[in-house]
Amino acid sequence: MILKNKTIILAIISFAFGALIYNYSAVIFQEGSPWPQVKGIARLTFGNKDIVKLDTGENKYITKSDNSEIIKSFMKEKGYDFTEQMVSGYLFKSQAGTSAVVTHKYYSRFYSLWTIAEHSNDSNNNLWTAITNDQGITFQYPKELFAKYISVAEWPPIVKVEIGTFSCKTTLLEVSSMSDITSERLVDDRTYCVNVKHEGAAGSVYSAYSYTIAKNDKLVNVSFTLQYPNCNNYDEEQSKACTSEREAFDIDATVDRIVQTIK
């Protein structure tokens, strides 16, 4: 009788484990072998730790949530100060002039993976590059936006400097669901007039952005296009990660920094 009960219990456990693998295989195996993540989760759970380094041979860590304050505190202990965020990338700099980039990725709804890349020189973490356009305008822009589900369609940005008076005819609230929206945005006490045009194509939405600001008695315009996939096209876990990234996405600070580099 006891042997029979043990057999039933083992069968139930095996069935539950098989169902878990079947339903969440995309998440469990998203990093290849799941064992480093499994061991990391066990150390988080039973070791009373906020962050654990994974046994992957890489500078990769796991936390129980996507709370960026955990990684900021961790990097602070390593001698790095947080400087800015670019979507899922967090930029740090030490007093010695070295820099680091920490990229974030979800591992199910309950855990987050953080990959740390340290650099021996500054130069904006080698992530920003300078360009001079046909107008003779020199500016810097980031090579990538550190987003998994948002990609650039027209990049680097087009920068124009013109003579004119700043004005912004915003879209009325009752028609704000239109595909062509204009609004005023305040970024570090600087006012931008932002126009966004949305156009759907092949399971994605292409959003054309145009930021305008008055600077040095002239109008500066920065324009570019980003591609947003339909999050519902992914499986449940990826769809949630896609939606979370979309909700947290903020390009304003990046555009403002581009504007400040214009010469």
Q: What domain range is 176 assigned to?
A: 127-260
Query: Which amino acid is residue 76, in one-letter code?
Result: K
Domain count for the chain: 2
Q: Of 70, 100, 124, at which residue does a domain stop? A: 124
Query: Would you place residue 221 in the very low, low, confident or very high pLDDT band (cuts 50, 70, 90)?
Result: very high
Mean pLDDT of the chain: 82
What mean pLDDT do residues 189-209 have? 92
Residue where a domain terminates, one of 124, 144, 164 = 124
Q: What is the pLDDT of residues 166-179, one digit of tens each?
A: 999 998 876 556 78
CATH code: domain of residue 71: 3.30.310
Q: What is the pLDDT of residue 17?
A: 42
How far apart (Å, rounded) are the C-alpha atoms in residues 186 and 253?
10
Q: Is the pLDDT of residue 109 over 90?
A: no
147 and 216 share one domain: yes
1 domain-assigned: no
Asked which of 99, 124, 149 is the last residue of a domain, the reply is 124
Q: Considering the domain boundaries, does residue 25 fall inside one?
A: no
Structure tokens at 100: 């680091």
User: Is 114 in the same domain as 132?
Assistant: no
Tracing tokens 């046909």 back to the chain, one arrives at 134
227 compared with 118, residue with greater pLDDT = 227
Residue 193 is predicted with a pLDDT of 97
Q: Is the pLDDT of residue 33 over 80?
A: no
- Predicted local distance difference test score (pLDDT) of residue 12: 52
Calculate what percentage of the chain has a pLDDT beyond 70: 81
